[in-house]
Amino acid sequence: MSDQSAADLASVFRALADPLRLRMLAQVASDPRGECCVCDLAELGAVSQPTVSHHLRVLREAGLLRAERRGTWVWYRVTPGREPLVAALLNAVEGAGVGPSSISTTPERTSA
């Protein structure tokens, strides 16, 4: 693996290290329309719209999602050519028994 390939893959893993981002990517990748509106993605977690926008920006910067503005809404789809990578990553997560739908988007509280 080249240094650049390793750096690109590390960027992808950093982007997926957040539970909400992982769920957002899974939602976009599995949507029958092939894309999701930001309003659909905001429903995944009890977070503010700016927080949703931040997480989507991280996924875009990692090259996993592409955004398209239509009127007042922004629509997201898996970046063309990245579909096999996204499918493989999501399948690996599911295969490990930790599917995106089972991942909590709220921090766990531990008692001391």
Torsion of CA 49, 50, 52, 57, to 10 degrees: 140
pLDDT band at 69 (very low <50, low <70, confident <90, very high): very high
Confidence (pLDDT) at 96: 62
pTM, to two decimals: 0.80
Report whether pLDDT(106) > 60: no
Is 101 or 46 the better-scoring residue by pLDDT? 46
Q: Is 9 left (phi over 0), alpha (psi -120 to 50) or beta?
A: alpha
Report whether pLDDT(104) > 50: no
Domains and CATH numbers, the chain: 3-92 (1.10.10.10)
Confidence (pLDDT) at 103: 44
Helices (H), the chain: 3-15, 19-30, 38-42, 49-61, 83-95
Confidence (pLDDT) at 62: 95
CA distance 111 to 52: 29
pLDDT digits 0-9 by tens, 22-62: 999 999 999 999 999 988 888 887 788 889 999 999 999 99
